Structure 1
Amino acid sequence: MKKTMLAMLTMMTALAMAGCGGANTASTPPQSNDGTSKIKVYTTLYPLEYAAKRIAGEYADVANIVPPGVEPHDFEPTAKDMVDLTSADLFVYNGSGFEAWVDNAVKGMDKNKTTVVNTTEGLSLLESAGGHDHDHEHGHEGEAAAAGHDEHKDSTGAQNHEEHKDGTEAQGHAEHKDAASGSTKEHEHEHHDHGGTDPHVWLDPTMLKAQAEKIKSALAEKDKAHADAYGKNYQQLAADLDQLDKDFADMVNKSPKKEFMVSHSAFAYLAKRYGLEQVAISGIDPADEPSPSEMKELVEHVKEHNISYVLFETLASPKVAEVIAKEAGVQTGTLNPLEGLTEEEAKAGKDYLSIMKDNLEMLRAALK
């Protein structure tokens, strides 16, 4: 993320003005139906906005700081955004290094007014993977990969798949990547690895459920008068996420393939949860692109492993995925990492649940 000194000075000046009350002198705040003032919640990522709105109901105004259609990897808040954040009662972010600008934003907040919630704190996070590689997250074969998934959750809601004792992996792909070290044995690629942890936890419904519980607790602590309502709304959201989890597990259990190719290494948590293998063209940052030799290897991999779809996302360019699909003679499709909504999706009333169900159907086709 590139920041100029001028932009940073502008932000700092705006925050100082906000601290003096000049920029945030508010009129009467919005009221709930019971006559109480709504609390203000800002989020940094669409899935967190979705969860916060579901839990808060009528008792809070929830806004996502990243506008629809903007790639969140590239987002930098404006000075106005930074000023707006100082008015928050609750500031909810993903953590795990995803929002590089958050540290500066948090420094300008009045901690007596704004409760800051890092929703991945304490969760079991995966290391970020470089692109042009195979993320072997499955440790079961056949039916056990999905049907037995409930027995392997840890306290955060993440799943811990047992590794095969004989060192083999489902679908016979042990030659590609060592599950413990993350090293490749068959292909030597130049990786554009961003290091750190993989932030895309929300693509595992049980992980988003854990994030949502943190939001519920923070709302209940901040607004004790409506704690019961927040608890009930959370339980309804949790039930929806549990059903989504079951639907994914059932689909994978009935699918003959366990490997899928995507343009962006965003689906490691989903792959781990359901015993799948993600083959990613680029790394955590979708702007990374493979070299010509890596492109050739990816095309060969598609052919050798009988992959029928190359899947790309909504907020990044599909050109590399389309080239690989064309060279390999296979179809393309969309698998949405849900980092943000497009303007079209927002206007159509799409949300986390409906898009994840679309993802489920796309994977059903890709895994045939």
Structure 2
Amino acid sequence: MKTTKTIALSILALLLTCSTVSAAKLQTTVSIAPLKYFVEKIGGEKVKANIMVKPGSSPATYEPQPRQMALLSKSEIYFAIGVPFERAWIPRFRSANDKLEIINLGKTVVHQTMKTHVHDEDEHKHHNEHETTQITDPHVWLSPPLVRIISQQIRDVLIEHDPANTEAYTSNYLNFAAEINKLDSELLNIFTPKGERFSFMVYHPSWGYFARTYGLNQIPIELEGKEPSPKELTQLIKFAKKNSVKAIFIQPQFSQKSARAIASSIGAETLTADPLAEDWAENLRRTAATFIKER
């Protein structure tokens, strides 16, 4: 009787072990929350994605916590996107986990530059005559057509690391691509029928790719965390009054002082448009609806 019970327990233990092994997920780490959305859309239940930049934090200045570095040491893949903190930290990630494969998803698409517009005070000068500062814009995840390209690389990398689940990753990718196409069509229908180029003012120039994709004009207040000078602030207020700006869009990760000063001076609202929200598709829908409402 004892022998039978021992055998039964051994079989149960074996089954539990097999179940644990079969349920093991491919461990990944992503830089920002929207990438978690993409990886989990394609990876489904086969993949675990840990986020490096915590909600509410800025990718420009973020420093990973010890617990995050511990999770990173167990990851097989790190999906980067080219946000500023990665410049300093990716070499450290490699040192912390020499088996970690680092994939910069930003390299799969063509980048544009971020521009700050310092408008001339001379009313007789042409509107396009202005000084510009140009820095590569990393916010490629805010353009659905670019996310279609990014998601292809995510699919390929997951298949390379976990070929046994190729069918699942391929099927999930196709489903996600269909969702992206649907979202893209919705946004095109919101903006393009209007027949005019809609300008919107933002504190941080995160929405450049979104603007380019849907025929909008982004007017930023700051660049790389640098507040506008008093002269630039005066010019921005003048521009906002001239163009009847009704709202200035801010994001939770940055100071809102200058945006609120401009809004107060012209009687406009300050509204939140978060480029780092994890619920990527719904976030773009909400943002589009807010832009149109304040048009």
Q: Same fold (TM over 0.5)?
A: yes
Evaluate the alpha carbon distance shift between residue 310 and residue 54 of structure 1 in structure 2; reply closer, same or farther with a 3 A threshold.
Answer: same
Evaluate the alpha carbon distance shift between residue 210 and residue 365 of structure 1 in structure 2; reply closer, same or farther with a 3 A threshold.
Answer: same
Q: Quick check: 1:125–1:197 contact (8 Å CA) kept in 2?
A: yes
Q: Hey, what does 2:222 align to over in structure 1?
A: 282
Q: Which AA in structure 1 matches 2:189?
A: D
Alpha-carbon separation, structure 1, partners of 2:45 and 2:152: 18
Q: Hey, what does 1:118 align to over in structure 2?
A: 104
Q: Quick check: 1:132–1:279 contact (8 Å CA) kept in 2?
A: yes
Task: For 1:294-313, list aligned pairs within 5 A.
Answer: 294-313=232-251
Kindly state the Cα deviation for residue 331 of structure 1 after the two structures are TM-superposed. Answer: 2.4
2:233 is equivalent to residue 292 of structure 1: no
Q: Hey, what does 1:146 align to over in structure 2?
A: none
Which 4+ stretches in 1 moved above 6 angstroms?
A: 30-34
Partner of 2:112, secondary structure, is: coil
Alpha-carbon separation, structure 2, partners of 1:175 and 1:312: 28
Alpha-carbon separation, structure 1, partners of 2:18 and 2:111: 38
For normalisation by structure 1, the TM-score amounts to: 0.68
Evaluate the alpha carbon distance shift between residue 333 and residue 57 of structure 1 in structure 2; reply closer, same or farther with a 3 A threshold.
Answer: same
Q: Which AA in structure 1 matches 2:207?
A: F
2:87 is equivalent to residue 100 of structure 1: yes
Q: 1:266 aligns with which of 194, 200, 206?
A: 206
For normalisation by structure 2, the TM-score amounts to: 0.84
Alpha-carbon separation, structure 1, partners of 2:135 and 2:83: 8
Q: Which has the higher helix share?
A: 2
Q: Quick check: 2:203–2:250 contact (8 Å CA) kept in 1?
A: yes
Q: Which has the higher strand share?
A: 2
Alpha-carbon separation, structure 1, partners of 2:82 and 2:290: 28
Q: Which has the higher contact order (CA 8 A, sep 6+)?
A: 1
Q: Hey, what does 1:200 align to over in structure 2?
A: 139
Q: Hey, what does 1:217 align to over in structure 2?
A: 156
Kindly state the Cα deviation for residue 106 of structure 1 after the two structures are TM-superposed. Answer: 4.3
Q: Which AA in structure 2 matches 1:127?
A: T
Q: Hey, what does 1:90 align to over in structure 2?
A: 77
Cα RMSD of the aligned pairs, angstroms, is 2.5
Q: Hey, what does 1:176 align to over in structure 2?
A: 127
Q: Which AA in structure 2 matches 1:72?
A: P
Partner of 1:254, secondary structure, is: helix
Q: Percent identity?
A: 28
Q: Which digits, 9 at most, give the CA deviation of each residue in 1:243-290, with x for residues without a partner?
A: 11111111112335511111111111111111111110011x2x2211
Contiguous gaps of at least 5 residues in structure 2: 1-16, 120-124
Q: Which digits, 9 at most, give the CA deviation of each residue in 1:18-65, with x for residues without a partner?
A: xxxxxxxxxxxx998992421101101111111011111111111111
2:66 is equivalent to residue 73 of structure 1: no
Partner of 2:292, secondary structure, is: helix
Alpha-carbon separation, structure 2, partners of 1:366 and 1:320: 19
Q: Quick check: 1:43–1:63 contact (8 Å CA) kept in 2?
A: yes
Q: Quick check: 2:60–2:84 contact (8 Å CA) kept in 1?
A: no
2:282 is equivalent to residue 354 of structure 1: yes
Task: For 1:146-165, list aligned pairs within 5 A.
Answer: none
Q: Which AA in structure 2 matches 1:322?
A: R
Alpha-carbon separation, structure 2, partners of 1:200 and 1:85: 23
Alpha-carbon separation, structure 2, partners of 1:31 and 1:125: 46
Structure possessing the higher radius of gyration over alpha carbons: 2
Q: Hey, what does 2:10 align to over in structure 1?
A: none
Q: Quick check: 1:282–1:290 contact (8 Å CA) kept in 2?
A: yes
Evaluate the alpha carbon distance shift between residue 252 and residue 86 of structure 1 in structure 2; reply closer, same or farther with a 3 A threshold.
Answer: same
